[in-house]
Structure 1
Amino acid sequence: MTYVIHGATGAQGAPVVSALAAAGRPVTAVTRNADTIVDGARVVAAAYSSPADLTDAYRGAEGVFVHLPVASEENRRIFAGNILTAVRAARPARVVFSTSGFPIDPAVGGAAATLAAGLADSGVSHAVITPELYLENLLMPYVVDSARDRGALPYPIRADFPVSWASHLDIADAAVALFERTDVTGVVAVGQYPAITGPDLAQAFGARLGRDVVFEPISPEEFRVSVAPVIGEAAAADVAGAYQAMSALPGRSIAPETSAQKLLGITPRTTSQWLADMGL
């Protein structure tokens, strides 16, 4: 029995691999290239586009950690369907799905909502981790370099927009706990509570960098232009659209009753703790 981890060489999956390996658990890293070396894990090549590959990877697994990759929404919908086909066929003992901040409200729709609903109907033990926004977004050169060089932290939210920020490290902590805590099912919200605002982020960055840093709200279009060279035009357009829709909301705070703090006894890192962990 092994734990199958998607994105094992990426920002979301790598911390889960590290945490499981440190606990002495057998880990299988899912990658696009079978020759990839992942410390603490055996490697299998499986493509999101192949239900057969995914079924082979999931069969006999003690747990599967999955998230949908950064891609066009059309491709993400296809990937979600393929993952569900594989889960239903292979029936791993447990699936932990991180939404990566995408909505799972059926009324809103989308690939993440499709995958969450499909897992609920699959009969397979599962939990759905629902972060709001990732602190790692702030590590993009456009953002962190501006904080260092200009003393301004640019991001496409209002200054008064409260967010329950979480790091990939927090998601890994929750995922590992959820593999053990099979009594916890359904949604588990991971993020800081109470939620914090942009100026709170800037204050933490300033304290860490040893200089004054102010928060600088920017438009979703400015953000799209800045991230397109990193994640591609189609994905950048989808991300900008998500931030545009977000601008109509009062904030993005987790609900304490479904929080990892209450359900798992895990408290996410503060921004200052996360900055220290990142070595900034």
Structure 2
Amino acid sequence: MKILVFGATGSQQFSIIGEAKKKDAEVIAATSSENSFEKLAQAGATPILANMNDADKMLEITKGVDAIAFMIPVSLPNPFDGLQYAKNVIDAAKANEVNKIVWNTSGWLESQKIGSPVDDVKLDVYEYLKNSGMDYVIIQPTIYMENMMGPFCAPFITNEKKLAYPTPEAMPIGWIASRDVSAFVVEAIYNVALKSDAFKISGLDNLRGNDLAEQFSQGVKEEIAYYPQKPQEFGDILKPMVGEAGASSVAAYYESLQNATEYPPKFNAQMNEVLEKLPVQMTSLAEWARENREYFFKG
């Protein structure tokens, strides 16, 4: 099995390499920077320089590939460009008779457009993929545990022993490890019965803020309290990474949650049904925190 992975330099897709290698797959990892070559090669992939906005390059690198694991690049200056990026990959896959595409949507898809470019473009990609004639599986994860490693959260844990996140304490979330999401992607590639399927996936525990902090505390063996971060504070920290417009959009979303009487679902209570089709050994929040303790507390 030859698998082409997009986005493997980032935390959301990197673990696909290891999960695919467990099944003796040959992994090719597309990256837009040669600086990533060493990291990808050490993980067991063959790195290749390619940008999803180059349709000709997509045709070139998808030749002889059995399956593609892709996601829309994060933090595009114009999120709507994501549709053309996806079209280039899907069109090339179809032209070269790739067997299957598995798309990590980096969040649950909305039921309809909501005026957020990042979310709305995903619905356009979904329609294009669905109508492409390709076999596909869509993996929709909730919020990644790895988000806690971000600069809006990790320094608070390390310096103040506070788990900072801009969601209200009362809002439950089924946090999921990126390694588990990657395992779902690989299982979806290998399950030949799945041809036009979509799965909303989450962790197995639906944790409110204080529950999250308690689980994290158990893992790192430190007393950590939940800190419902102000959306503006979160946005200011995010600004250097995603730009002012992107940070403002994200901050506005979290501001709406602060005032909500009903929270959007971030947990799939039927994960047992998903696991029947995609058998993955799930990671608990406490287990993840224990494995990553040194990231937050040196020594």
Task: Please say whether Structure 1 and Structure 2 have the same fold, judged by a TM-score greater than 0.5.
Answer: yes
Query: Which runs of no fewer than 5 residues in structure 1 stay unpaired?
Result: none
**What's the counterpart of residue 60 of structure 2?**
56
**Pair 1:68-2:79 in alignment:** no
Query: Which runs of no fewer than 5 residues in structure 2 stay unpaired?
Result: 295-299
Q: How does 1:38-49 map to 2 (within 5 A)?
A: 38-39=40-41, 40-49=44-53
Q: How does 1:139-218 map to 2 (within 5 A)?
A: 139-184=149-194, 185-218=196-229
Give the aligned residue type for 1:28. Answer: I
State the Cα distance separating 1:60 from its structure 2 match: 2.7
- Which among 70, 81, 87 is matched to residue 87 of structure 2? 81
Cα 1:224/1:276, change in 2 over 3 Å? same
**What's the counterpart of residue 18 of structure 2?**
18
C-alpha contact (below 8 Å) 2:113/2:120 kept by paired residues: no
State the Cα distance separating 1:90 from its structure 2 match: 3.2
**What's the counterpart of residue 28 of structure 1?**
28
Q: State the alpha-carbon separation in 1 of the partners of residues 71 and 213 from structure 2.
A: 29
C-alpha contact (below 8 Å) 1:188/1:259 kept by paired residues: no
Give the aligned residue type for 1:132. Answer: T
Q: State the alpha-carbon separation in 2 of the partners of residues 244 and 99 from structure 1.
A: 23
**What's the counterpart of residue 282 of structure 2?**
268
Select between 231-240 and 194-203 the one with higher mean Cα deviation: 231-240
C-alpha contact (below 8 Å) 1:80/1:112 kept by paired residues: no
Cα 1:236/1:87, change in 2 over 3 Å? farther
State the Cα distance separating 1:102 from its structure 2 match: 5.1
**What's the counterpart of residue 143 of structure 2?**
133
| TM-score normalised by length of structure 2 | 0.84
| TM-score normalised by length of structure 1 | 0.89
Cα 1:21/1:201, change in 2 over 3 Å? same
State the Cα distance separating 1:202 from its structure 2 match: 0.8
**What's the counterpart of residue 100 of structure 2?**
94
Give the aligned residue type for 1:118. Answer: Y
State the Cα distance separating 1:167 from its structure 2 match: 1.4
| Count of aligned positions | 280
C-alpha contact (below 8 Å) 2:152/2:165 kept by paired residues: no
Cα 1:203/1:19, change in 2 over 3 Å? same
Cα 1:206/1:258, change in 2 over 3 Å? closer
C-alpha contact (below 8 Å) 1:188/1:263 kept by paired residues: no
Q: State the alpha-carbon separation in 1 of the partners of residues 187 and 142 from structure 2.
A: 19
State the Cα distance separating 1:272 from its structure 2 match: 0.9
Q: State the alpha-carbon separation in 2 of the partners of residues 100 and 166 from structure 1.
A: 11
C-alpha contact (below 8 Å) 2:153/2:165 kept by paired residues: yes
C-alpha contact (below 8 Å) 1:56/1:90 kept by paired residues: no
Q: State the alpha-carbon separation in 1 of the partners of residues 20 and 227 from structure 2.
A: 38
